[in-house]
Amino acid sequence: MKRSTSEKIELAVFYIIIFLILREWLVPIMQLTKTGYFMQFLLFIAICLTIGVFSLPVLLSWPIKVLYITWFITSVYNDGEFTTWQFLSNELRYNVEVILNGDWILVSDPFRTSLFFILIWMLIYLIQHWVSVRHTIYYFLVLTVFFIATLDTFTEYDGKLAIIKVMILGLVLTSLLFIKRLMQSANMQKDWTSYFIYATPIILFVTIAGLTAAYLPKAEPQWPDPVPYMKGMVGLGGSSSQTVATVGYGENDESLGGPFVGDNTVVYEIETPIRQYWRVETKDYYTSKGWVHTGGRDVLSDLQFSHPIEFSVMPGETEPQTVEVHSMGDYNFLLQAYGTTSYSTNDPTNLLRFNHTNEKLNLLSNREIVKPTVYEMTFQQPEYSFTALKETLSSTGSDPRYLQLPDELPQRVIDLAHEITDGHASIYNKARAIENYFARSGYKYETTNVAVPKADEDYVDQFLFETKLGYCDNFSTSMVVMLRAVGIQARWVKGFSAGERVASNADLTTYQVTNNDAHSWVEAYIDGVGWMPFEPTVGFSNPVNIDYDVESTQEEQLPEMETPEVERPEPEEQDTVTGGATKASSIDFTKYKWVFYVLGGILLLAAIIAWRKRGKWQPKLVVQMNRAKLNNPNNFEDAYFILLKQLERIYLKRGSHETLQQFAKRVDHDLETTKMSELTYVYEQYIYAGKSKEFDVAKMKESWEYLINRTSS
Q: Residue 497's pLDDT is what?
A: 93
Q: Residue 37's pLDDT is what?
A: 86
| 586 phi-psi bin (left φ>0, alpha ψ -120 to 50, beta other) | beta
Contact 371, 330 (CB under 8 A): yes
Per-residue pLDDT tens digits for 488-514: 999 999 999 999 988 888 789 999 999
Contact 206, 168 (CB under 8 A): yes
Q: What is the mean pLDDT of the chain?
A: 82
Distance in angstroms (rounded) separating the CA atoms of residues 659 and 25? 48
Angle at 253 between CA 251 and CA 258, to 5 degrees: 115
Q: Residue 81's pLDDT is what?
A: 66
Distance in angstroms (rounded) separating the CA atoms of residues 274 and 565? 9
Q: Residue 330's pLDDT is what?
A: 86
- Quick count: other Cβ atoms within 10 Å of Cβ 361? 23
Residue 578: pLDDT over 80: no
The pLDDT of 200-223, averaged and rounded, is: 77
| Sign of the alpha-carbon dihedral angle for 276, 277, 278, 280 | negative
Residue 403: pLDDT over 90: yes
Distance in angstroms (rounded) separating the CA atoms of residues 453 and 257? 7
Q: Where are the beta strands (DSSP E) in 53-183?
A: none
Residue 551: pLDDT over 60: no
Backbone angles phi, psi at 355, to 5 degrees: -95, 110
Residue 619: pLDDT over 90: no
Please give the DSSP secondary-structure letter assigned to residue 104. Answer: G
Backbone angles phi, psi at 126, to 5 degrees: -65, -40
Angle at 115 between CA 114 and CA 120, to 5 degrees: 100
Distance in angstroms (rounded) separating the CA atoms of residues 555 and 671? 69
Closest CA to 290 of 445, 448, 417, 476: 476
Residue 485: pLDDT over 60: yes
Q: Residue 63's pLDDT is what?
A: 92
Backbone angles phi, psi at 530, to 5 degrees: 105, -160
- Burial label for 37, CB within 10 Å (0-12, 13-18, 19+), is middle
Per-residue pLDDT tens digits for 269-314: 999 999 899 999 999 999 999 998 876 567 888 999 888 899 999 8
Distance in angstroms (rounded) separating the CA atoms of residues 709 and 363? 83
Task: Give whole-number Cα distances, 125 to 17, 146, 602, in Å.
Answer: 15, 20, 29
Distance in angstroms (rounded) separating the CA atoms of residues 630 and 223? 53
Distance in angstroms (rounded) separating the CA atoms of residues 282 and 261? 24
Which three-class secondary structure string do you get for 395-458? CCCCCHHHHCCCCCCCHHHHHHHHHHHCCCCCHHHHHHHHHHHHHHCCCEECCCCCCCCCCCCC
Single-letter residue type at 706:
Y
Q: Residue 134's pLDDT is what?
A: 81
Q: Residue 585's pLDDT is what?
A: 38
What do you get for the CA distance between the two ends of the chain, in Å? 23
Residues in a beta bridge with 325: 270, 375
Q: Residue 273's pLDDT is what?
A: 92
Residues in a beta bridge with 353: 302, 362
Per-residue pLDDT tens digits for 638-650: 778 878 887 877 7
Q: Which of 243-252, 502-511, 526-535 has the highest mean pLDDT?
A: 526-535
Backbone angles phi, psi at 182, to 5 degrees: -65, -45
Please give the DSSP secondary-structure letter assigned to residue 106. Answer: G
Residue 158: pLDDT over 50: yes
Residue predicted with more confidence, 137 or 190: 137
- Tell me the whole-structure pTM to 2 decimals: 0.50
Q: Which residues have CB under 8 Å from 518's CB, separation 6+?
A: 247, 248, 249, 250, 494, 495, 496
Exposed e or buried b per residue across 441-476, where buried means at least 16 C-beta atoms within 10 angstroms of its C-beta: bebebbbbbbbbbeeebbbbbbbbbebbbbbbbbbb
Distance in angstroms (rounded) separating the CA atoms of residues 316 and 383? 6
Per-residue pLDDT tens digits for 77-90: 887 667 888 888 88
Task: Give whole-number Cα distances, 296 to 201, 398, 543, 563, in Å.
Answer: 73, 20, 31, 39
Q: Which residues have CB under 8 Å from 340's CB, separation 6+?
A: 309, 311, 315, 377, 378, 379
Q: Are strands 361-365 and 285-286 parallel, antiparallel or unpaired?
A: unpaired
Single-letter residue type at 588:
D
Contact 461, 412 (CB under 8 A): yes
- Quick count: other Cβ atoms within 10 Å of Cβ 673? 15
The pLDDT of 139-148, averaged and rounded, is: 90
> Which CB contacts under 8 angstroms, 24+ apart, belong to 64-68?
65/121, 68/43, 68/44
Percent of the chain clearing pLDDT 90 (strictly above): 34
- Burial label for 108, CB within 10 Å (0-12, 13-18, 19+), is buried
Range of weakest confidence among 42-46, 216-220, 363-367, 646-650 = 216-220
pLDDT confidence band for 576 (50 / 70 / 90): very low
